[in-house]
Amino acid sequence: MVKNSVGDIEHNLAVLRQRVKQACERVGRNPEEVQILLATKTVEANRILEAFEEGATLIGENRAQELVEKFDALKVVAHTTHFIGHLQSNKLKDVVGRVDCVQSLDRLDLAEKIEKRLAAEGREIDVLIQVKTAPEESKFGCAPKEALALTKAVSALPHLHVKGLMTIGVFSENTEEVRACFRKLMSVRQEIITAHIDGVSMDVVSMGMSGDLELAIEEGSTLIRVGTAVFGKRL
C-alpha cells in the first residue's frame, strides 16, 4: 500500500527497495545493478528533501519550470538530477545548466541545440536516447528503427555523452504487452552495442515505473523511475 501523507516516504522507500530486491532475486540479478530515480513531478521540494534524508540521491523532473522552481531549495543536499520529460527547444536554457543527464533525447535537432548551448557554457552532460516502444500515439521517443542512426548522429556531438536508452512501457493490464516494450528496448540496445559506435555506452537501461518496475527489472532495467510508489498519488 502506498501511503500519501508526509512522513511515509521512509516507509514507501523501504517497500520499494524490497520490491526491487525481490524482482532481482527472481532473475538472479544483483539489486545494486538497479538504480532508483525518484520521479518528482508535482512533488514539493520539502518532500524531496525528505527522500534525500532517507538515502535517495537521484531525481528526475519532467518540466523545465518545476526544475527551476525547486532548484535552489534542493541544491543544499548533494544529489543528481535527470530530465525525463518531453523537452521543448525553447526551454533548453532553463534545463541544460541544471541537469546531469537528459533521458528524453528523441530527435537530432534537439540534440544539436543542446550541443550548441553546452559548447557555449563549456559544460558536458550525459544523455539517454528515448525510444518509443509502446504503440500509443501520445508517447514521445524516436521509432525503434531510427534509434541506431540517431545514436550515431548524437555520438558526433562532443558535449553530449550517450550512456544508454530510455523508454516508457505501454500502460496495460496485460503484462505480456508491457514486457514486449521492454524487450523491444533491449533488442534496440543490442543492435546499438553490435554497431560499436565510438564514445557510446549502452550501460544505462532506463525502464520501469511504479506499476511495472518488476517486469522492467526482469527484462534488464538498470534504472527505474518511480513517482507514486514513493510520494503517493499526484494531485
**Which chain residues interact with ligand PLP by CB under 6 A?**
39, 41, 62, 84-85, 168, 209-211, 225-229
Q: Which of 19, 64, 12, 24 is nearest to 41 (CA)?
A: 64
CB of 211 vs ligand PLP, minimal distance in Å: 6
Spell out the residues 6+ positions from residue 25 whose beta carbon is closer than 8 angstroms to its own: none
Cβ nearer to ligand PLP, comparing 24 with 216: 216
Q: Which three cell numbers stand for residue 64?
A: 523545465
Which residue in the shown chain puts its C-beta closest to ligand PLP? 227
| Least CB distance to ligand PLP at residue 176 (A) | 20
In terms of CB distance, is 38 or 159 closer to ligand PLP?
38
With beta carbons less than 8 A apart as the criterion, state whether 67 and 59 touch. no
CB 220, CB 179: distance < 8 Å:
no
Q: What distance in Å separates the CA atoms of residue 104 and residue 98, rounded to the nearest whole number?
A: 15
* C-alpha dist (Å) from residue 152 to 108, 128, 155, 162: 10, 13, 5, 10
Q: Closer to ligand PLP at the Cβ: 169 or 220?
A: 169
Integer Cα distance of 32 and 64 in angstroms? 30
Nearer to ligand PLP, 39 or 159 (CB): 39
The answer for residues whose C-beta is within 8 angstroms of residue 28's C-beta and 6 or more apart is: none
Shortest Cβ 121–ligand PLP spacing (Å): 25
- Exposed/middle/buried for 2, CB within 10 Å: 0-12, 13-18, 19+? middle
Instruction: State which residue, 35 or 228, has the beta carbon closest to ligand PLP.
Output: 228
CB of 233 to ligand PLP, least distance (A): 8
Q: How far is the CB of 103 from ligand PLP (least distance, A)?
A: 7
| Residue 84 CB, nearest approach to ligand PLP (Å) | 4
Which three cell numbers, joined as nine digits, stand for 133? Answer: 516502444
159 vs 212 by CB, closer to ligand PLP = 212
